[in-house]
């Protein structure tokens, strides 16, 4: 028996609590929609909890992260309000082996920028273009069962150059009506942590209710779950208090 994947879905949860039109799309928050999708698709293979910016320590205490195999991250308007102490903690846990799935505008989140080492900037405009998502790594576990192509009728447009390091793998590439192309699904390895960035979906569109998008996230949770032991190198621990487990 394989142990289930313990997923924590983190959401800034600001749009949903301050903008009625977003709350209408995501009445239980983006985190709620993502969690429901995972539970529906993965059943007993997943244990899901959620956490938001407003929770104490943003809901990402040492205890929570220690029990999290994969952290899913959605943020947009309040990146700066995430406490550096929590960012340190997330960073440390990713390097030790916790998986991380970064969604959409999470490209500008503090943990992602720190892990990438680049500006993580990209081009964007919001005109409701059709996004067509093409699988360019059809044998990748994250692409299993995904339509070729996967069409999102209306979405915010993200464009290159997306300033991230050379990815380990490009899984998806998107084309937008206006002519933009974008590497919309990419994997990275940092320490023992497996990271997947996936550019859909914006808060203005019901992306996370789309069954195929849920399928990508479910696949990504399985892929990012590092089933080896989780630890930072001893050398790194010796050198820096930053890497010491919090007591």
Residues that bind a copy of itself (CB under 8 A): 2, 95, 97, 108, 114-119, 121-123, 130, 132, 134-139, 141, 143-145, 148-149, 151, 159-163, 165-166, 168-170, 173-177, 179-181, 183, 188-194, 226-228, 232-233, 235-236, 239-240, 243
Upper half-sphere CA count for residue 85 (Cβ side, 13 Å)? 9
The nearest distance, CB 24 to a copy of itself, in angstroms, is 29
Q: Of 27 and 138, which CB lies nearer to a copy of itself in the complex structure?
A: 138
The nearest distance, CB 15 to a copy of itself, in angstroms, is 19
| DSSP string computed for 29-58 | HHHHHHHHHHHHHHGGGEEEEEEETTSGGG
Let me know how many helices (H) and strands (E) the chain has, helices first: 8, 9
Q: Of 31 and 192, which CB lies nearer to a copy of itself in the complex structure?
A: 192
Q: Of 52 and 187, which CB lies nearer to a copy of itself in the complex structure?
A: 187
The nearest distance, CB 116 to a copy of itself, in angstroms, is 6
How many beta carbons lie within 10 A of that of residue 192, not counting itself?
A: 19
Specify the DSSP class assigned to residue 208: G
The nearest distance, CB 234 to a copy of itself, in angstroms, is 8
How many beta carbons lie within 10 A of that of residue 142, not counting itself?
A: 25
Structural contact between residues 30 and 208, judged by C-beta atoms closer than 8 angstroms: yes
């Amino acid at each position: 028996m394989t142990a289930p994947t313990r997923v924590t879905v983190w959401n800034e949860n600001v749009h949903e609590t301050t903008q009625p039109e977003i709350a209408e799309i995501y009445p239980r928050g983006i985190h709620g929609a993502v969690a429901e999708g995972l539970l529906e698709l993965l059943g007993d293979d997943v244990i899901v909890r959620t956490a938001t910016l407003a929770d104490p320590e943003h809901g990402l205490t040492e205890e929570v992260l220690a029990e999290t195999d994969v952290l899913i991250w959605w943020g947009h308007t309040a990146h700066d309000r995430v406490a550096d102490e929590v960012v340190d903690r997330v960073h440390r846990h990713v390097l030790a082996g916790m998986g991380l799935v970064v969604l959409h505008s999470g490209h500008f989140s503090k943990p992602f920028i720190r892990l990438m080492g680049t500006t993580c900037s990209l081009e964007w405009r919001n005109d409701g273009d059709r996004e067509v998502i093409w699988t360019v790594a059809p044998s990748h576990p994250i692409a299993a069962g995904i339509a070729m192509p996967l069409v999102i009728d209306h979405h915010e447009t993200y464009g290159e150059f997306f300033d991230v390091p050379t990815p380990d793998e490009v899984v998806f590439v998107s084309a937008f009506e206006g002519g933009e192309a974008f590497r919309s699904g990419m994997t990275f390895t940092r320490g023992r942590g497996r990271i997947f960035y996936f550019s859909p979906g914006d808060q203005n569109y019901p992306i996370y209710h789309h069954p195929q998008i849920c399928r990508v996230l479910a696949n990504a949770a399985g892929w990012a779950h590092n089933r080896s032991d989780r630890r930072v190198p001893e050398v790194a621990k010796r050198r820096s208090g930053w890497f010491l487990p919090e007591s």
